[in-house]
């Protein structure tokens, strides 16, 4: 095939893949939203969520029309006019299970290589650490960096803390899958050998890197799935950054400037995950990682 045709076919394939991912993401988003609405209603049935009819909640999910809603409600043993806040405990349990089963249903793309990016202080490190601690089958890539360790950070576990000279030598040797200068300050790079080894052994790999890194990985390994971690709100992001207290005011404001730019790039990503609850966000990310041996037509690698 001539190069021009190949490039056009490649672009079309990427566009089709993004469109499929966007549709799946939209359905997933509505399901998660429906679950959140139901949980709010059950925490306090006097809220507006509590007075919503179950029928309305279900029709908010794309692809579910009135006929299917009637059938689903009959299956769940919920009367047509019931409001979410008025459900009994058994009915709540059945509805929750139904929504969760669909939400976890195999509708999202999966990959053996997932890149987790997102604005500063959204919780990338917290979610990645949770995954490392709770899902040991996943290899969490350890980056090299020229920045100084923060209190409590362990060399070889959180990062390989290296000098500028070491970093240059690693670039020279071709050790990095990608590397970048982040927040106009220190350099960070993803060592390639451990990733190749893990993928060769059939393990899934998670990279927690910045936006530039995510773009570079997409170019180098198109099978990678790019996941963007979102804060519940901008205010919460600022709260998390200031609450962490690891940067002075000047550095915080520099990071928030970068965060605005990074948030504007979220549509480049295959999937978005909101980090409201750490365990839940971690589970969502893990569900995107192909489990070795599990049959899946959707696996990308
Ligand atoms: N491109 C790239 N970015 C990285 C790498 N490792 C970490 N980062 C990113 O560098 C940024 C700064 O990380 P860090 O100094 O730990 O501070 P943080 O902003 O609190 O996560 C974050 O956006 C990380 O995702 C890497 O290997 N490559
Ligand atoms: N789901 C969450 N709810 C509340 N606080 C969170 C959540 N996730 C992370 N945090 C807090 O936000 C701050 C920033 O998290 P961190 O993992 O360091 O972010 P990042 O690695 O994206 O810069 C930390 O103080 C962390 O404890």
Q: So where are the chain's domains? A: 3-103, 113-287
Nearest to 216 by CA among 205, 228, 224: 224
Looking at domain 3-103, its CATH class is: mainly alpha
Distance from residue 124's CA to the centre of ligand 1 (Å): 9
pLDDT (0 to 100) of residue 86: 95
Q: Is 295 exposed, middle or buried (0-12, 13-18, 19+ CB in 10 A)?
A: exposed
Strand-by-strand arrangement of the 204-208 sheet: 138-140, 204-208, 113-117, 225-230, 271-274
**What is the helix (H) or strand (E) element at residue 16, kind and residue range?**
helix 3-43
| CATH superfamily, domain at 113-287 | P-loop containing nucleotide triphosphate hydrolases (3.40.50.300)
Spatial distance between the Cα atoms of 233 and 261, rounded to a whole number of angstroms: 15
Nearest to 54 by CA among 36, 27, 81: 81
| Helix 89-103 / helix 66-76 crossing angle, nearest 10 deg | 130
pLDDT at 67: 85
Of the chain, the percentage scoring pLDDT greater than 70 comes to 86
User: How far does residue 188's CA lie from ligand 2's centre (Å)?
Assistant: 20
The closest ligand to the CA of 230 turns out to be: 2
Condensed to tens digits (0 to 9), the pLDDT of residues 45-71 reads: 998 999 999 999 998 887 788 888 998
Least confident range from 27-31, 78-82, 141-145, 237-241: namely: 27-31
Mean pLDDT of 206-219: 95
Ligand 1: nearest atom to the Cα of 186:
15
Nearest CA to ligand 2 atom 25: 244
Between 20 and 50, name the one with better pLDDT.
50
Q: Residue 252: nearest ligand to its CA?
A: 1
From CA 161, how far away is CA 71, in angstroms rounded? Answer: 58
Do 62 and 86 meet the contact criterion of CB atoms below 8 Å apart?
no
Distance CA 220, CA 142 (A): 18
Q: What is the pLDDT of residues 83-137, one digit of tens each?
A: 999 999 999 989 988 888 776 554 556 789 999 999 989 999 999 999 999 999 9
> Measuring from each residue's beta carbon to the nearest atom of ligand 2, which residues come in under 6 Å?
120-126, 240, 243-244, 275-278
294 pLDDT band (50/70/90 cuts)?
very low
For the chain, the residue count is: 301
Q: What is the dihedral of CA 167, 216, 142, 116, to 10 degrees?
A: 150
pLDDT tens digits, 258-293:
899 999 999 999 999 999 999 999 999 998 887 654
Average per-residue pLDDT in the chain? 87
Structure tokens at 36: 């959140």
pLDDT of residue 297: 33
Q: What is the pLDDT of residue 106?
A: 47
* Residues near 196 by beta carbon (within 8 Å), at least 6 away in sequence: none
* ipTM score of complex: 0.96
Ligand 2 closest atom vs CA 122: 22
Annotated binding site for ATP: 118-125
pLDDT of 295 reads: 38
Strand ranges for the chain from DSSP E: 113-117, 138-140, 143-145, 159-161, 176-181, 187-191, 204-208, 225-230, 271-274
Helix (H, G, I), strand (E, B) or coil at 255: helix
- What lies within 8 Å, CB to CB, of 220 at 6+ separation is 177, 178
Nearest residue (CA) to ligand 1, atom 6: 209
- Band of residue 299 on the pLDDT scale cut at 50, 70, 90: very low
């Amino acid at each position: 095939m001539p190069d021009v045709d190949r490039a056009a076919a490649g672009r079309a394939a990427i566009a089709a893949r993004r469109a499929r991912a966007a549709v799946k993401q939209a359905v997933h988003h509505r399901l998660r939203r429906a679950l959140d609405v139901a949980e709010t209603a059950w925490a306090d049935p006097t809220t507006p969520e509590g007075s919503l009819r179950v029928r309305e909640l279900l029709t908010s999910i794309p692809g579910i029309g009135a006929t299917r809603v009637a059938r689903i409600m009959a299956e769940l043993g919920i009367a047509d006019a019931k409001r979410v806040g008025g459900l009994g405990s058994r009915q709540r349990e059945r509805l929750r299970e139904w929504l969760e089963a669909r939400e976890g249903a195999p509708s999202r793309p999966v990959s053996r290589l997932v890149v987790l990016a997102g604005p500063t202080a959204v919780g990338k490190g917290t979610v990645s650490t949770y995954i490392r601690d709770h899902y040991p089958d996943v290899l969490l890539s350890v980056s090299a960096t020229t920045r100084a360790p923060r209190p409590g950070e362990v060399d070889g576990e959180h990062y390989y803390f290296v000098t500028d000279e070491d970093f240059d030598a690693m670039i020279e040797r071709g050790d990095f899958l990608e590397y970048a200068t982040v927040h106009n300050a220190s350099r960070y790079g993803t060592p390639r050998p451990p990733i190749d080894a893990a993928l060769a052994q059939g393990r899934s790999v998670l990279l927690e890197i910045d936006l530039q890194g995510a773009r570079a990985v997409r170019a180098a390994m198109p099978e990678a799935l790019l996941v963007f971690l979102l804060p519940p709100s901008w205010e919460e992001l600022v709260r998390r950054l200031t609450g962490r207290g690891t940067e002075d005011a000047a550095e915080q404001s520099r990071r928030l400037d970068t965060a605005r730019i990074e948030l504007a790039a979220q549509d480049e990503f295959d999937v978005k995950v909101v980090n409201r609850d750490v365990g839940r966000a971690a589970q969502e990310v893990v569900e995107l990682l192909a489990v070795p041996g599990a049959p899946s037509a959707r696996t990308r690698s």
